Amino acid sequence: MIGQTVSVSPFVSGAITAVAAVVMLALGADMLKLLPKRLKKMMPTMPAFISRRVMRADSSMHPAAPLLLGAGTFFLPCGFTQALQLYALSAGSFGAGALIMGAFALGTVPALVALGWFADSWKGKSGRFFFRLAGAALVVLGVINFGNGYNLMGLPVLSYNAAPGSEAASFASDDGQTQTVSMTIGPNGYSPDSFTLRANEPTRWLIDATNASGCQMAIVSRSLGLNQALNAGENVIEFTAPAAPGTYQFSCPMGMYRGQIIVRS
């Protein structure tokens, strides 16, 4: 319902994702016993009175206990959950948001059940190995999510490695007034994912989103001022290429699929 009246900018979305990623990194480092004590004291913790109530609820046999505990996980600093919350917010619909989060919850059930079983069954050295493995995975996910957030915020490019075999593409056609580029979105992302444009010239960006899904159904770029929802099929985005030469990033709203536009004078 908030999404119907409030538009979350790519910068805000990226900032939230980056903050969540930092928390994930800290949690992973703590599980690996690598987090310094000073930093550990600075980590946000659940107030003691809430923790005690949660622990009591954990052993409760009340039928509503699993529902309440599950709903509580909505507020945990999880990068994936944060990303889906933002995606649900961007839907601008109470029903669509509920379906998005419901599908996400059902989809994560098998993995969470497996993790719970391992955590409860593995003791001693096996248990320590499991938690260290989980901590390492959390650190990797934190790094990936921070990169996604950084990209969404439209900050200066640190580095960019195009997909294997992809090359910077010149505009497909130019009628002397407008330059045109084409891109296809599929399961592996954008193809091509890098374009070369002339500065300060009207541009038509043809996007084939026939095989796009999920967060691929939108293109965002803070540096280009784009926040465009896509329809399944052919889409046309018209804009004027930036006057300043440089590299401009674009991505899906979650920052998972990325590309770049190289502007030359």
Q: State how far the Cα of 175 lies from the Cα of 178, in Å rounded to an integer.
A: 6
pLDDT at 172: 47
Q: What is the residue range of 216's domain?
A: 169-264
Task: Please give the DSSP secondary-structure letter assigned to residue 257.
Answer: S
Asked if 187 contacts 214 with a C-beta cutoff of 8 angstroms, the reply is no
pLDDT at 4: 66
- Shared-domain flag, residues 137 and 177: no
Final residue in a domain of this structure, among 103, 126, 152: 152
Helix count (H) and strand count (E) of the chain?
A: 7, 11
- Shared-domain flag, residues 39 and 145: yes
Q: State how far the Cα of 28 lies from the Cα of 133, in Å rounded to an integer.
A: 9
Asked if 197 contacts 167 with a C-beta cutoff of 8 angstroms, the reply is no
Q: At what angle do helices 48-58 and 65-72 cross, to 10 degrees?
A: 140
**Residue 124 domain-assigned?**
yes
Tokens representing 71 are: 């709903």
pLDDT at 184: 94
Q: Answer whether the bond into residue 192 is a cis peptide, omega within 30°.
A: yes
**Residue 163 domain-assigned?**
no
- Shared-domain flag, residues 202 and 245: yes
Q: State how far the Cα of 162 lies from the Cα of 194, in Å rounded to an integer.
A: 7
Q: Which helix (H) or strand (E) holds 235?
A: strand 234-240
Q: Amino acid identity, residue 218?
A: A
- Shared-domain flag, residues 133 and 62: yes
pLDDT at 207: 95
**Residue 164 domain-assigned?**
no
**Residue 157 domain-assigned?**
no
pLDDT at 6: 67
Smallest CA-to-CA distance from 93 within 9, 8, 2 is with 2
pLDDT at 203: 92
- The alpha carbons of the chain give a radius of gyration, in whole angstroms, of 22
- Shared-domain flag, residues 16 and 131: yes
pTM tops 0.75:
no
Total number of domains constituting the chain: 2
- Shared-domain flag, residues 40 and 81: yes
Question: What CATH number should be reported for the domain holding residue 176?
Answer: 2.60.40.420
**Residue 162 domain-assigned?**
no
- Shared-domain flag, residues 148 and 174: no
Helix, coil or strand: residue 57: helix
Q: State how far the Cα of 88 lies from the Cα of 97, in Å rounded to an integer.
A: 4
Q: Which residues contact 46 (CB under 8 A, 6 or more apart)?
A: 54
**Residue 161 domain-assigned?**
no
- Shared-domain flag, residues 41 and 127: yes
Residue ranges of the chain whose pLDDT lies below 50: 159-168, 170, 172
